[in-house]
Amino acid sequence: MPWPEKRALKGSKEKKSIGEGLFRKCEGCDETLEAEVFAQHFEVCPKCGHHHKLAPKRWRDLLLDEGKLEEWDARLSASDPLEFTDGKSYPQRIAAAQKNTGANDAIETGLAHLEGRPIAYGAFLFPFMGGSMGSVVGEKIARLFERAADHRLPVVLLQASGGARMQEGILSLMQMAKAVSAQERHRAKGLPFLSVLLHPTTGGVAASFAFLGDVNIAEPKALIGFAGARVIETTIRQKLPEGFQRAEFLVDHGLVDRIVPRTEMRREFAVLLGHFGTHTAKEVASA
């Protein structure tokens, strides 16, 4: 028969497990709410409005008609041209990220519909190596704009990235120019690009196509910029202003057009696409 104090310890562990996963604490206001409440509000705190990370499938549920995406280039996967290692080989890190996320790389792209309007849709997958942009991500973004240009589709691109992928060295930096070139060919055909900057949008992604949208939209309080604040302060030897690199600061200084809460984005995108003259599938069929 176990000692009494051991029985008590066992009982205390059982009590701690009751309700585990049913409640969560908001990162913005420290309010504890039912996990289901966060799920119903697409990970936006109903108390303070703090935006937590949202899974790719939930983004599709939020923005796309019936949550459906006809995915493009899903099988593209990174190679290891530099044979890079940093304690683990690059293929090992890719394999681990693929296992954890179920995706081949850090972006999904494809054909979708938003309020009946066909769009070329892309969304970075931040859990995949911090949404870093390597050759696969750059290639998929270039193909996204090229297909959109060929089929005269608007592009809606959601960005959340730590920047270029260091394991691919200069090859990752080359994706900046490649993606921007494809985006410019899309623009030359008079087609709209809605650029959505989520938390965080940094590094090579921010320094290339992220600010080139016909409308640049950010989530509240999203971190957006190239280098980190500490790096900048060390380089210029000056204290940065309060709120530097946050969405609200960028709107005030003209680098971002609008801040749109996550739950209002679908309606906002539909209105903007309407202003740009894009048509619904029914309108095209009846023309």
What pLDDT, on a 0 to 100 scale, did the predictor assign at position 58? 97
214 and 235 within one domain: yes
47 and 111 within one domain: no
Domain range holding 159? 54-286
146 and 281 within one domain: yes
What pLDDT, on a 0 to 100 scale, did the predictor assign at position 286? 53
pLDDT tens for 136-189 read 999 999 999 999 999 999 999 999 999 999 999 999 999 999 999 999 999 999
Beta bridge partners of residue 193, listed in sequence order: 155
The verdict on residue 1 lying in a domain is no
180 and 226 within one domain: yes
139 and 77 within one domain: yes
164: nearest Cα among 129, 200, 205:
205
In this structure, are residues 277 and 113 in contact, taking their beta carbons and an 8 Å threshold?
no
> What H or E segment, with its residue span, contains residue 267?
helix 265-275
60 and 44 within one domain: no
259 and 147 within one domain: yes
The strand pair at 193-202 and 224-225 is best described as parallel
Q: Quick one: pLDDT band at residue 2, thresholds 50, 70, 90?
A: very low
pLDDT tens for 10-66 read 444 444 455 567 999 999 999 999 999 999 999 999 999 999 999 999 999 999 999
φ/ψ of 56, rounded to 5, equals: -55, -40
The pTM (predicted TM-score) of the whole model is: 0.89
Number of domains in the chain: 2
Identify the domain boundary among 36, 52, 68: 52
153 and 75 within one domain: yes
176 and 153 within one domain: yes
263 and 131 within one domain: yes
What pLDDT, on a 0 to 100 scale, did the predictor assign at position 175? 97
The verdict on residue 16 lying in a domain is no
Q: Cα(242)–Cα(245) distance, rounded to whole angstroms?
A: 9
- Mean local confidence (pLDDT), 249-273: 97
Q: Cα(256)–Cα(251) distance, rounded to whole angstroms?
A: 5
The verdict on residue 8 lying in a domain is no
